[in-house]
Amino acid sequence: MELVFIGFSIFYLTTLSWYLIGFKKLPKSFPQTSTFIPSVSVIIAARNEQKDILRCLQSLLTPENQKIINEIIVVDDFSTDSTFELVIQMAKLHPMIKGIQTKSFPEFSDVKSPKKRAILCGLSVASGKWIALTDADCIVSSSWGMVFTDAISESSQMIAGPVEFITDQSLFSTWQHLEFAGLMLVAAGSVGQKKPSTINGANLWIKKEAFNSVGGFEGISHLISGDDELLMHKIHAKYPDGIQYLPTPEALVLTRPQPNLSSFWNQRKRWASKGLHYQSGSYKVFLAFFWLAHFLFLLLPFFALLGLVSWFIPFFIFLIKFFADGLFLSASNNFLTQKVNPFSVLWFGWIQIPYLVFTGLMGTFSRFEWKGVRY
C-alpha cells in the first residue's frame, strides 16, 4: 500500500515538473518585426452585466488598443437589466462599438450553450480576420491588442493569455487567486509542451479561418461549457503548431473572483462538467489519474490512523507535495500583478485536496446553475 501512495506522489511531482518545463519553453516577449496589423473584432458575450460592461468597454478603448481593434461587438444574451441600453449609449459615443442581441439570430436558437450561442451571433457579423474574446466583467491591459498582434505568426491559429482575479485580500478571494494561478500555469505549460490542455475563454484570440475550418462549435454546441478548451482541442488536432500562450503581464486580463461559495461552486462544477467530453482518450486517462492521486492524498491520513501505513509516509508525502506546490505556484509571479506567496500552500494545500476530489465528482454527476438557469 505504501508503494501505491509513493507511486502516485511521483506521478504528481512529475506532472508539475512537466508543466513547469513547458512554461519555461514559452517565449516571454514577441518583438514586433513588421508593421502588419491584422483586422481584429472583439466579441463580448453579456448577460445582466450592467455593473461591469462599461468598465470593460473603457479598458478596450485605450489609444493603444484602438490602433489594433477594428470593432467591439457586444452580444446581449437576454439580459433583464440595463446592459444592452448601456452598450447602445456607448456605441453612440464610439462608433467601433456594436450592440446586438441573440434574440435577433433565430438561426442559432438550437445551440444549448448561451456563451457559444452569443459567440456565434457575434461571429456572424464580425468583419475581422481575428476574433478576440473576453468577458463583460473583465478589464484588459492598455496594450492588450498590441501584445497579441505582435505574437501572431504565419502558423498562429489561436492565442491565449492569462486571467487574474482582483482580490480583496480575504481568505476566500485569495484561495481563488491561488487556484487560478495554478490553472494559468497548467495552461501555459501544456502549450509550451505542444500538448495544450486548458485555456480560459476570457482571454482568447482565434483566427476566424481556423474556427470555420474545424466546424466551429459543431459537435460541442450541446455542452454548456467548453467554448474555450474543447474548441482549442479541435483546432490543435488540425493545426498542431497553431496554439500559443502569452505568459506576460501585458497580455493579462483582470476580473473579479466569485462573490460567495454558492456561485464559486456552481462555476467550478460548470467547468468540470466538460471533463468526459475531451476528444483525447489519453488526456482523459491523465485527468483520471490526477483525480485519483488527490483522492489517495485525501485518504492517506485515515490509512495512517488505521495503521495501514506508517505515519512517516503521510508526513513525507505532504512535505514534498507542498514544497513542490509552492515552487510551482511561485512561477506565476512572472505574469501576475498580485504575487503569489509560496508559503500560502501551507493552508491552501489542505483545502485544495478535498476540493479537487469533490469538484471532479460533482462536475461530472450533478447539476449546476449559471446566470440564473439550472443545467
pLDDT of residue 166: 87
Taking the C-alpha atoms of residue 76 and residue 267, their distance in angstroms, rounded to an integer, is 20
Q: Among 63-67, 126-130, 340-344, which stretch is predicted with the lowest mean pLDDT?
A: 340-344
Distance CA 113, CA 44 (A): 15
Amino acid at 126: A
* Identity of the amino acid at 231: L
**What are 207-234's pLDDT values in tens digits?**
999 999 999 999 888 887 778 899 999 9
Provide mean pLDDT across the span 199-209. Answer: 95
Hey, where are the domains in the chain?
A: 2-21+279-364, 30-277
- The C-alpha cell at 21 is 518545463
Q: Measure the CA–CA gap between 365 and 362, rounded to whole angstroms.
A: 5
C-alpha cell at 268: 467550478
Task: Quote the mean pLDDT of the chain.
Answer: 90
pLDDT digits (tens, 9 = 90+) for 140-173: 999 999 999 999 998 999 999 999 998 888 889 9
- SS3 for 113-155 is CHHHHHHHHHHHHCCCCEEEEEECCEEECCCHHHHHHHHCCCC
CATH topology of domain 30-277: Spore Coat Polysaccharide Biosynthesis Protein SpsA; Chain A (3.90.550)
Weakest-pLDDT range from 28-32, 191-195, 251-255, 337-341: 28-32
Q: Which three cell numbers stand for residue 3?
A: 508503494
Indicate the SS3 state at residue 101.
Answer: strand
Q: What pLDDT band is residue 102 in, cutting at 50, 70 and 90? A: very high
Examine the pLDDT at 178 and tell me if it is beyond 90: yes
Q: Quick one: pLDDT at residue 365?
A: 65
Q: What's the pLDDT band for 7 if we cut at 50, 70, 90?
A: very high
